[in-house]
Amino acid sequence: MIFRRLKYIINYKRMKNIRKINTFITILLGILAFNSCSDLDVAPTIGLTTSPQITDPEAGKAYVLSAEAASNTFEVYAYSKAKWGEVSTPAEYKVQIALAGTSFAAPTTVVTTNDSPFRIGVSEMNTAMANLGVKKAESTDIEMRLVAKPINENTEVISGLDTLYSKALSLTITPYFTFKVIKPLYIVGAILGNKAWDATNYSYLMFKDNSETSNAVFTYTTNFKADGYKLLVTLGAWNTAWGYDGDGKIVQMDNGGNLTATAGYQTMTFDTSNGTLTYAPYNVSAAPSYTSIGLIGDFNSWGGDVVLTQTDYDPHIWVADKVDLTAGGVKFRVDAAWDSKWGGTEFPYGIGDPASSAGNIPIDQDGSYFIKFNDLTGHYVFYKL
C-alpha cells in the first residue's frame, strides 16, 4: 500500500514538470512568431518592386542645343518614383543617356538627383553628348533612362536591394561645339630660312604639348640656323614681339633686340607667362626619314590622303595650307598606309600618339586650316584661317 502511494506521487510530479516544459515552449514559440510577423511588417517584400518611369515630357522630342543658351534649361522631367516592396524608400536617381540602339552598353550620366521633378541644363546635356563620343554638331538619336538605388537617411546606398531601371525614353539632340581659341606664337627671323622675317607669315607658328588655355609654354624642335629672331604674338604687330630689352631681359616691346640661337637640332621652349626661353640639344641620328606624310579622316570619308609638304628648313616638319576640314576625326600617316601613323586627343595643339590603339585627333569645327606636323616629336597644330 505504501509502495503504490509512493509510485503515484512520483508519477504526478513527473507529469507536472512536463506540463511546465510544454507551457514554456508554447510561450517561446509565440514570442518568436510575433517577432517574425513584426519583421515582415517593416522589411521590403522580396521580389515586389516598382521601377521608376519618366512621365513627362513624352518620347520623340527633338532638341537643338546652342552655346548662347548654355546656361538655360534643357528640359524639366516628371517621373514616378521607385518602390522596394510596400514601404516608400528614399532613392538616388541617375539620369543616363546612350546612343540609340546600343541597349545602354556604354551609357553616360547626365545628372544625379532625388528632386521631383528634376532639371537638366543645356550645358549639362551638351557635355553628356560629348562624353558619349558625339563629335559633330549634327542630329543624333539617343535614349534616356532613370537608374534608381535605395538610400538610407545618410544618403548611403542600401545594399542587398535591386537597382531599378525605367523604360528608355527616345529623343534626338543636336549638340554644339565651342571652338577653343588659343593665341598662337610665331617665330620671325632668319633661324628658320630666308623668308622667316616676314611678320605676316603664319606658317612659322610654334607648337604646344596640349590645347589647355592655361598652358603658356610653346615649343619647337628643328634644325636652327645660327642667327637672330623674335617671337611674335600678333601677326604684323611688331609691338607684340618678344625680344631683348636694354638690360638683356626678354620682354614684349617694339624695336627690342633680337633673340639668338646656335646652329643645329635643338628643342626651343618659351613660356609666355614669364618670358623664360630655353634650348636643349636634340639627337636626330636615330630618327627615321619619311618620303610622304598625309592626313586622312572624316573630312574625306577616310579615302585618300591630303599630302603634306616638307619645309625647306627641315625635312622633319610637314605643312599643308588651306585644307578644308569638317568636324570629326583625323590621323597623320606615312606613305598612305597604316604601318606608321599618329592619332591624338587634343585640338588644335597636341602631340601625336603612334600607338595602334590611339584615337582620332578630334577636329572641333568645320573650316579651312593650315596644318603643321613634326615627325620627330609628334607635335601638331591646326591653325584655322
Question: What is the tens place of the pLDDT at every residue in 232-278?
Answer: 999 999 999 999 988 889 998 888 899 998 999 999 999 999 999 99
Higher pLDDT, 42 or 20: 20
Q: Which of 189-193, 312-316, 377-381 has the lowest mean pLDDT?
A: 189-193
- 52-174: CATH topology is Immunoglobulin-like (2.60.40)
**What are the pLDDT digits (tens) for 344-367?**
999 999 999 999 888 999 998 899
- Residue-level pLDDT at 279: 96
H-run or E-run covering 95:
strand 91-99
Whether the pLDDT of residue 5 is over 70: the answer is no
**What are the pLDDT digits (tens) for 179-234?**
666 789 999 998 887 667 889 999 999 999 999 888 999 999 999 999 999 999 99
- 186-281: CATH topology is Immunoglobulin-like (2.60.40)
- Residue-level pLDDT at 86: 73
The pLDDT > 90 percentage for the chain reads: 64
pLDDT band at 87 (very low <50, low <70, confident <90, very high): low
- Residue-level pLDDT at 89: 80
Residue 60 near residue 170, CB atoms below 8 Å:
yes
**What are the pLDDT digits (tens) for 136-190?**
778 999 999 999 999 988 888 888 889 999 999 999 999 987 666 678 999 999 8
Residue 112 to residue 343: CA distance in whole angstroms = 34
DSSP structural state of residue 298: G
Whether the pLDDT of residue 28 is over 50: the answer is no
pLDDT band at 35 (very low <50, low <70, confident <90, very high): very low
Q: Which of 33-42, 83-92, 321-330 has the lowest mean pLDDT?
A: 33-42
- Residue-level pLDDT at 153: 84
The pLDDT > 70 percentage for the chain reads: 85
What DSSP assignment string belongs to 344-378? -S-SSEEE-B-STT---EEE-S-EEEEEEEETTT-
Q: Which amino acid is at 200?
A: T
Among residues 72, 66, 64, 51, which one has the least CA distance to residue 120?
A: 72
Whether the pLDDT of residue 26 is over 80: the answer is no
Higher pLDDT, 356 or 324: 324
- Residue-level pLDDT at 106: 93
**What is the dihedral angle through the alpha carbons of 63, 64, 68, 74, rounded to the nearest 10 degrees?**
10
Q: Which of 5-9, 122-126, 135-139, 372-376 has the lowest mean pLDDT?
A: 5-9
- Residue-level pLDDT at 373: 98
Same fold, 52-174 and 186-281: yes
Residues 338-342 have a mean pLDDT of 95
- Residue-level pLDDT at 97: 96
- Residue-level pLDDT at 176: 84
Residue 85 near residue 39, CB atoms below 8 Å:
no
Residue 75 to residue 118: CA distance in whole angstroms = 9
- Output the nine-digit C-alpha cell for 199: 611678320
DSSP structural state of residue 157: B
Write down the pTM of the prediction.
0.62
- Residue-level pLDDT at 3: 42
Residues 82-97 have a mean pLDDT of 87
- Give me the chain's average pLDDT, please: 86
Residue 87 near residue 42, CB atoms below 8 Å:
yes
Among residues 28, 19, 78, which one has the least CA distance to residue 52?
A: 78
- If you classify domain 293-384 with CATH, what class do you get? mainly beta
- Residue-level pLDDT at 190: 87
Residue 92 to residue 94: CA distance in whole angstroms = 7
Residue 369 near residue 385, CB atoms below 8 Å:
yes
Q: Which amino acid is at 282?
A: Y
Buried b (16+ CB within 10 A) or exposed e, 258-293: bbebeeebbbbbbebeeeeeeeeebeeeeeeeeeeb
**Domains in the chain: boundaries:** 52-174, 186-281, 293-384
Residues 280-287 have a mean pLDDT of 96
Residues 355-380 have a mean pLDDT of 94
Q: C-alpha angle 197/202/208, rounded to 5°? A: 110
